[in-house]
């Protein structure tokens, strides 16, 4: 029997804030600068939804640890500048949040510092304050289930009563591994077909989320 939904766990980048397009552009540029030519599709496949550790490990394997450190420093500096220049919430997200009455939290591959910045700039920090969790708090990042299980534990909710809103393939895989239902948001960079799978509802308009939650047993 499917449990009623007691908690909605949101990813941050690409689900709450429209920052993945910024990251994509910056990663392609950094690859060209530092010796690893990457297409937009390469970045989506390799980096989107992954933790800092996973991304830097891939860069280090290709270019060495020193270059990986330079890459990450430049990425964070430029990302911060781009966010300050005009980051917006994901289209339809404010309306969706206004209609959701269930408890909510954030569980992201990004650092707490990064999330404080992006959620603050977009006016979303207050909505999630005290309920923000980072992959830096767990041994393994997505697609491992550690982060979502950690969020459920901290929020005091059975994983089977949680749903996850994700926009990346590692994210929906992590939700499945955690025994949670998921909603795969295909209105961003990841094609819908990469989000499809067991226990996952794929959608492309964030305004639809409150209705989808109700249909799934909120």
List 11, 13, 146, 167, catalytic entry:
11
In terms of Cβ atoms closer than 10 Å to its own Cβ (0-12, 13-18, 19+), residue 63 is: middle
Rg (CA), the chain: 17
Distance (Å, whole) CA 124 – CA 197: 30
11 catalytically annotated: yes
Which DSSP state fits 191? -
Distance (Å, whole) CA 89 – CA 204: 15
To 10 degrees, what angle do helices 146-155 and 169-177 make? Answer: 60
The 10 Å Cβ neighbour count of residue 143 is 18
The 10 Å Cβ neighbour count of residue 85 is 9
Phi, psi of 48 (to 5 degrees): -65, 130
Hey, which residues are catalytic here? 11
């Amino acid at each position: 029997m499917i449990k009623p939904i007691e908690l909605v766990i949101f990813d941050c980048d690409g689900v709450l804030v429209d920052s993945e397009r910024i990251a994509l552009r910056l990663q392609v540029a950094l690859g060209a600068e530092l010796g690893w030519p990457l297409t937009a599709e390469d970045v989506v496949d390799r980096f989107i939804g992954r933790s800092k550790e996973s991304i830097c490990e891939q860069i280090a394997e290709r270019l060495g640890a020193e270059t990986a450190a330079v890459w990450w420093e430049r990425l964070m500096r430029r990302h911060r500048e781009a966010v300050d220049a005009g980051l917006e919430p994901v289209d339809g997200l404010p309306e969706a949040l206004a209609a959701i009455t269930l408890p909510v939290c954030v569980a992201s591959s990004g650092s707490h510092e990064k999330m404080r910045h992006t959620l603050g700039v977009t006016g979303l920090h207050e909505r999630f304050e005290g309920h923000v969790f980072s992959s830096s708090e767990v041994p393994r990042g997505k697609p491992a289930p550690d982060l979502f299980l950690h969020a459920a534990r901290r929020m005091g909710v059975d994983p089977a009563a949680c749903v996850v809103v994700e926009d990346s393939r590692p994210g929906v895989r992590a939700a499945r591994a955690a025994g949670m239902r998921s909603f795969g948001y295909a209105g961003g960079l990841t094609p819908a077909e990469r989000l499809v799978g067991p226990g996952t509802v794929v959608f492309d308009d964030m305004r639809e989320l409150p209705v989808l939650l109700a249909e799934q047993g909120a």
